[in-house]
Amino acid sequence: MIAFNYETKFQLNNEENTSKWIQECIEREGFELGEINYIFCDDAYLHKINIEFLQHDTLTDIISFDYTLGKLVGGDIFISVERVEENAKEFNTSFENELHRVIIHGILHYMKYKDKTDEEKQIMRSKENECLEILDKK
């Protein structure tokens, strides 16, 4: 089950299609959908979580708390809509494209993809692109 929660005025355009897309990406990797909660918020909300739980005094676009058990993918994914908007401008892409990249980025972490080294970042970006291509075909 995927739940979308809003701590800001933002609202996803099509929650049902987004859920189906996320589930398809999970299943293509050989995992199973568990319980995933997306929480869309602003910078201040996510900054507070970053300080409180991770002791990082920085702005970020996403924080994910992983509750995956074996192949059952689950967790809480907090996304700052403000950061996504800024990143879309910085990376010269649409807000929607950047939002979808961030949405699936958290899921990929749950499926054990990392992004600390250059090699890991390259693999993560490739997996994000694969998932975005799936969405584009819908």
Q: How far is CA 14 from the centre of its chain?
A: 16
Looking only at the bridges linking them, the beta strands covering 62-66 and 72-80 are antiparallel
The answer to whether 105 is a known ligand-binding residue is yes
Report the length, in residues, of the chain.
Answer: 138
Backbone angles phi, psi at 69, to 5 degrees: -120, 110
Helices (H), the chain: 15-28, 43-54, 81-90, 95-110, 118-136
Annotated binding-site positions: 105, 109, 115
- Residues annotated in a binding site for Zn(2+): 105, 109, 115
